[in-house]
């Protein structure tokens, strides 16, 4: 078994997850760590970050070193060598309100079974939780099960995400919506998400003075509505986590990564909501860079 990148979880409302709410959905807490995976290859325990396979001398926030010393993980994978565990390695990112005893642990949120090359499936929670319980592995439990849910019903679950959060410190990063029999219009299994900070920013636009693309530059509207503070802060935190600290030499990387994510992850939603006749991408990047400087004044 080889490294496989975990799916990109789409924002609820995007075409990629259209219709996911029709049927029985599981609502999970979304926690703010770093994406990680574990699998077995020729009897060896392997580990990955979101984008690459890890090694002892090329680790990601200590995850590889943690996993190779976890005998429960090894026992699980020895019994299920075609299973791959995806989860969150909880190290500090933008959210700092987790309990002290929660840090530096691996919380499984999906189990993939590989049957062959390009032939795999995600096990439903009711199945994989029993496997994980047998080996006393940590995993993320659902907040609720909702059949034929509405956007308002899902929004109400945001404040119920107190998984691992210190008492009295509010709620977590957001929620993930899964429907295990769901395939999108392209035939892919994909989950949806709602991020609390992004919802609040959008809610503020909706309930306050609305942002009208026709009354200002379209590029400005795009940045206001889609280049959120949450996106900027999360990208900043990922760089710090990967590099072990911040340096001014990472500023171009911060700008380019936010720009990349804005274009690759949000463009469909931008086109659907704002319906721009044209976009000047040089202007867009310039306005976006200005917002990054406003949000992260202390690093510029």
The one-character DSSP state at 206 is H
* pLDDT band of 296, cuts 50, 70, 90: very high
Token representation of residue 46: 């392997």
Residue-wise pLDDT for 9-33, tens only, equals: 998 888 889 889 988 999 999 999 9
> How far apart are the C-alpha atoms of 205 and 197, rounded to whole Å?
13
**pTM, whole model, 2 decimals?**
0.72
Task: Please provide residue 148's backbone torsions phi and psi, each rounded to the nearest 5 degrees.
Answer: 50, 55
The one-character DSSP state at 53 is B
Q: Are strands 119-122 and 106-116 parallel, antiparallel or unpaired?
A: antiparallel
Under a CB-based contact definition with an 8 Å cutoff, are residues 23 and 147 in contact?
yes
Beta-carbon contacts of 238 under 8 Å, excluding residues fewer than 6 positions away, are 34, 93, 257
Instruction: Identify the pLDDT of residue 212.
Output: 39
Instruction: Identify the pLDDT of residue 110.
Output: 98
> How far apart are the C-alpha atoms of 164 and 237, rounded to whole Å?
19
> How far apart are the C-alpha atoms of 252 and 285, rounded to whole Å?
12
CB atoms within 10 A of CB 277: 6
Residue-wise pLDDT for 185-239, tens only, equals: 889 999 999 998 766 655 554 433 333 344 568 888 999 999 999 899 989 998 9
For the chain, give the mean pLDDT: 90
CB atoms within 10 A of CB 200: 13
Q: What is the share, in percent, of the chain residues with pLDDT greater than 70?
A: 94
Closest CA to 88 of 157, 164, 159: 164
Q: Which residues pair with 41 in a beta bridge?
A: 44
Decide if pLDDT at 158 tops 60. Answer: yes
Instruction: Identify the pLDDT of residue 254.
Output: 94
Strands (E), 20-153: 24-30, 34-41, 44-48, 83-89, 106-116, 119-122, 144-147
Closest CA to 9 of 144, 155, 182, 151: 182
The one-character DSSP state at 277 is S
Instruction: Identify the pLDDT of residue 199.
Output: 62
The mean per-residue pLDDT over the stretch 276-295 comes to 89
């Amino acid at each position: 078994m080889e490294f496989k990148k975990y799916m990109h979880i789409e924002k609820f409302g995007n075409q990629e997850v259209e219709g996911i709410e029709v049927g029985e959905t599981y609502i999970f807490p979304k926690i703010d760590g770093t994406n990680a995976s574990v699998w077995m290859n020729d009897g060896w325990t392997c580990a990955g970050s979101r984008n690459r396979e890890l090694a002892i001398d090329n680790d990601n926030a200590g995850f590889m070193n943690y996993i190779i010393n976890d005998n429960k993980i090894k026992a699980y994978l020895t019994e299920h060598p075609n299973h791959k565990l995806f989860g969150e390695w909880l190290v500090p990112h933008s959210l700092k309100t987790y309990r002290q005893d929660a840090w530096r642990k691996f919380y499984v949120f999906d189990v993939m079974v590989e049957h062959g090359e390009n032939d795999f499936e995600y096990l439903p929670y009711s199945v994989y939780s029993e496997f994980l319980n047998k080996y006393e592995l940590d995993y993320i439990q659902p907040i609720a099960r909702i059949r034929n849910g509405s956007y308002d019903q899902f929004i109400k679950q945001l404040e119920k995400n107190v998984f691992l959060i210190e008492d009295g410190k509010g709620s977590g990063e957001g929620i993930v919506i899964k429907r295990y029999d769901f395939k999108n219009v392209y035939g892919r299994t994909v989950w949806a998400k709602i991020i609390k900070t992004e919802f609040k920013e959008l809610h503020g636009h909706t309930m306050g003075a609305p942002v009208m693309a026709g009354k200002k530059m379209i590029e400005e509207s795009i940045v206001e509505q889609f280049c959120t503070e949450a996106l900027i802060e999360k990208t900043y935190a990922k760089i710090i986590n990967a590099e072990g600290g911040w340096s001014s030499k990472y500023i171009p990387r911060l700008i380019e990564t936010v720009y990349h994510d804005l274009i690759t992850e949000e463009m469909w939603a931008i086109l659907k909501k704002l319906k721009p006749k044209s976009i000047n991408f040089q202007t867009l990047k310039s306005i976006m860079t200005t917002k990054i400087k406003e949000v992260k004044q202390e690093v510029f």
